[in-house]
Chain A
Amino acid sequence: MDHRILTFAFMEPPFESERTVTFFRLLDAALAQGAGVRVFAYEGAVALAFARQAPHGNAVHGRDAEQEAHPLSKDWIAALQAKAAEKGLTFEWINCGLCVDERGVNEVIDGCGRGGPPDLWRYAATAFNTLTIGTR
């Protein structure tokens, strides 16, 4: 590994806040600039990688699921995993296990793991820099 690693701590659930979009834009920008990424997801953010997310249509506007093209955060994570692999960069994702159990979102997409606060400590201690995005 010859690239610098940035750690991100994030707690926002999917489908709720503009912060989630900004967070994913930051991850994409990090990979674009050749930095590796490690994410510690806690509280509601553990559902970002939930494998059973499903797209839906929009009956009010008369669009089916394909036409609606509802964005799913699990797909954004998968896209970032693919981008990192293509560029030979680190991309790791750990969900806080306690937060996962509380929400029953144990089924996550491949490449996302389960851990706890010590992982955030390890990530932050070994990263070149760390950004914590708190929910206000």
Chain B
Amino acid sequence: MSGYLFIQSQDPFTEARTTHQFALARQLFAAGHAVRLLLVQNGVTPARQGAQTPYFDALLRDGIPVSADDFSLRQRQIGDADLKAAVTVAPISTVIDALLDGNKVIWN
């Protein structure tokens, strides 16, 4: 079993390929791998309550841990209370922790 951290910079409102990126994360998770996402830049926008993002929401339903970069949230004036319930806030150092833990870290 491998550990994967997907750094999700693209958002589903402007990038159709996110459908496949989210699908890959779900497939790896279903196959038993440790998968999580860190949303950065415009990638944080589907985490906002009320965002209509079925492919992203499927990740949350599956129980895949999803965090949003605190700096990217602040830039967009998205507060903690604005986030969907399963999304947590995390610092960018999450990426470094994952790299130093030997995870496969993939930029989307």
Contacts and interface: CB of A to CB of B under 8 A. Distances in A.
Interface of A: 4, 6, 18-19, 22, 25-26, 29-30, 32-33, 35, 128-129, 131-134, 136
A70 B103 CA distance: 36
A131 B93 contact: no
A54 to B, nearest CB: 26
Contact of A29 (B93, B105, B108): B93
Nearest to B97: A33
Contact of A22 (B15, B92, B105): B92
A30 B107 contact: no
B40 A22 contact: yes
Contact of A25 (B71, B105, B108): B71
A30 B9 contact: no
A133 B100 contact: no
B96 A29 contact: yes
**Number of contact residues on B: which range applies?**
20 to 34
- Name the residue in B10, B15, B41, B42 with the highest tally of chain A Cβ atoms < 10 Å from its Cβ: B41
Chain A contact surface mostly? mixed
Interface in B26-50: 40-42
Nearest to B41: A18
Given A29-B92, A32-B93, A131 B9 contact: no
Contacts of B107: 131-134
26 contacts: A6-B96, A6-B100, A18-B41, A19-B41, A22-B9, A25-B71, A26-B92, A26-B95, A26-B96, A29-B93, A29-B96, A30-B96, A32-B93, A33-B93, A33-B97, A35-B96, A128-B99, A128-B102, A129-B100, A129-B102, A129-B103, A131-B105, A131-B107, A133-B107, A136-B17, A136-B108
